[in-house]
Structures are given as C-alpha cells and as structure tokens.
Copies of this chain bind each other. A is one copy, B any other.
Amino acid sequence: MTDKKIRLGIIGLGAEGGMYAQFIDQGMVPNMQIGAICDTLPEKKGRADELGVPFYEDYIELLESGDVDAVVTTVPHYLHPEMGIAALQRGIHALVEKPVGVYTKQAQELIDFAATKPDLTFGVFFNQRTNPLYIDLKNLIQSGEFGALRHTSWIITTWWRPQGYYNQSEWRATWGGEGGGVLVNQAPHQLDLWQWMCGVPKKCFAKLAYGYRRDIAVEDEVNAIVDFGNGATGHFMTCTHDMIGTDRLEMLFDKGKIVVDGSQKVTITRLSDAEQAISENMGMEEVKLLFTGQLDTKKLMSVEEKSYESVWGYQHATVMQNFAANILDGTPLIAPGPDGINGVRLANAMHLSSWTGQEVDM
C-alpha cells in the first residue's frame, strides 16, 4: 500500500488552501495528490480546472464523491469541527486546520467522535511542530536532562497585522466569524508548542485588550500568567500591533535554561549540578566571594548556541506528508487531532479570565 498516494480533498480554496494545493501540485508532498477541491465561490472552479481535478461547491458532495481519501479543512474556524465530523462519518480521514474548534466543547465533540473511528486518521495542522528547532527542544526536555520546569515566558509579537488585513473579509476578527482575535487566529501555534514542550497549565489569569490598536471587535493583545500546578509558572504575551515584533521564549529548569530568539537561535545553558544542590553546597566563604564579585559562577555552567534555518513550505508539506504516511503505513502522527484541544482550552481560559477579571481554574 506504500506506493499509493492519498487523494486529498481541499475544502476552502482561500489563501491557505491555495497554498497547500500549490505545494502538492509541485510535488512537495510525495505521498499525496489533490483528489478534488471545494469552495462556496463558483469562480474558484478555474483553479481546479488548471489543476485538473473535480470541483464542488458543496463539501458534502465532495465527501461523498469517491474522489478523495482524506480532506483538509481550510475554512473559517467555527466550521472545523462540523466538517471534521462529517468527513469521519463518511470514512474520510480528516486533517483539521488549527484551531481544532473555537471553543472547548465544540473541539471535544470532534475529538470524541474521532475516538469512535480508530481506523481513520485525525490530525490537526500544527505545522510548527515540524520545525526542527522545536522538535529538538521537545526531545531535550523530554529526556529529563534539565529536570523540572520552574518558569517559562514567551513574548510572541511577530504576528503584526495591519488594518487592511482585518478589512479583507467580513468574518475576519469578529466574534461571529472567528470567535476571537490573535488567540484564535495567529497564536494557536505558540499556544500548542508551549504546552507541547512545557506541559498543560492548571490555572490562568489574563488581561486581553479588545480593539486596542486595531478597529476590530476581538482581542489584538494578550498578556497572561499561567500556573502549571506544580510550582512552575509561565507568562505569555502576544499582539498584532507590534510591527517590530519580538519572538523570545525562555524556559528555566532545575538544571539549566533554554532561550529561543526569533524561533531561530537557541541558547542552552547547562548547570554543572542541579541549581538547588549548588545553592545548598555553597559555603559562607564562597557566598562572600560572590558578593564581592570574586566568585566566577560561569565555571559552574556551560553554554551551547545553535541556529536553525527555516525553509518556506517545508513545515506545511511535512505535516501533510506525515498525515498521509499515518494513513498509509501507521507512521506516528506529529500532531494528533486530540492534541488540538489544549490550545483551544487555554485560549478559552484566557478569554474567560479577561471577562471575569479572575484567575481561571482549568
């Protein structure tokens, strides 16, 4: 079965869907071909004709056409769970765009339904999980070398969106159309990566600014503190109004620290022993030397710096290839669908906290 190509139905041929079609058409996803395309706008048929694939205006017709083995849902967020369920009901594998739902209940319905179809593949499009930088860090943290997390902070404001972006379509940045702002549209990637590496928070306090520096109804800035329940804490800041943009992730562990700048440069500092052991074993004489600047603590740590390059399209193509491989030969999914709920739950908790002014127990 490994020579077979998965025939993908693309539901929604907007900016994202069009890009995926291009990647597949250019052969960037070797185990996949375009099976059919669906869009509610009839004029999109021209592009389907160019690609030589069937076109449907109704996604149910596409699902029942026999033209596709799987679908990807590049449609407004609210529709992801409904379309995912409709596909799985008809024996079609589902690769659901992030967020897997706008609110937790909706996402849970899809996840629960998918659990009743264990033979079908259900993935979520977290392309940043294929970034070698984050894969390396995930493995490093999971190895246990650094011990327990103490604190993490992510300032991710490289999601600059000018007003014209929001004016592009009626549903963009509305409660009815998107169900939120930067938390639902841009930041889900980091909300996923953060929890993937650091664990799932237990409590959250957030201040959100709605239409702060953009003429939109939803949030264009988020400032949150999370509590991982085991003593570890985190801070998350994102917005769409910082044109200069910061992307800085810091993770402090019992045995060292990891700092990521611009999702490209990683600085890993390893302590010679657990920090608490160093602290407890340091005698009074050394403490005195420390305070007169005569103790070189740099001797007790080593620093490793790594740089990563990003290749346009690599991440998205890799998610699709991995999804197809899971269908074809059971290769483990990089981003299983059920993982999608963590980011939705955290985004929901941040909204709720901002509305009530209270810390939210998750």
Contact = CB atoms under 8 A, between A and B. Distances in A.
Contacts of A155: 153, 250
Given A163-B279, A275-B243, A237 B151 contact: yes
Contact of A242 (B165, B207, B252, B284): B252
Interface in A159-186: 160, 162-165, 167-168
B287 A237 contact: no
A132 interface: no
Contacts of A207: 205, 225, 227, 233
Contacts of A284: 164, 167-168
Contacts of A212: 231
Interface string A262-287: 00000001010001101110111011
Interface stretch (A102-110, A191-199, A290-298): A290-298
A239 interface: yes
Interface string A222-262: 01110100010101010101111010101010001101000
Interface string A203-226: 001010100111000000101110
Contacts of A15: 291
A359 interface: yes
B163 A282 contact: yes
A162 B278 contact: yes
A164 B239 contact: no
Given A233-B209, A358-B358, A275 B241 contact: yes
A279 B237 contact: no
Contact of A168 (B259, B287, B293): B287
A44 interface: no
Contacts of A41: none
A301 B245 CA distance: 12
A300 interface: yes
Nearest to A252: B242
B151 A223 contact: yes
Contacts of A233: 207, 209, 221, 223
A357 interface: yes
A242 B259 CA distance: 13
A219 to B, nearest CB: 12
B278 A164 contact: no
A189 interface: no
B300 A271 contact: no
A271 B244 contact: yes
Nearest to A235: B235
A5 interface: no
A287 B246 contact: no
A214 B276 CA distance: 8
Contacts of A280: 162-163
Contacts of A138: none
A246 B250 CA distance: 9
A223 B227 CA distance: 10
Given A233-B223, A239-B151, A359-B357, A279 B162 contact: yes
A248 B250 CA distance: 11
B164 A297 contact: no
Contacts of A286: 162, 164
10 contacts: A150-B221, A153-B237, A162-B278, A162-B280, A163-B279, A168-B287, A212-B231, A213-B275, A235-B235, A243-B271
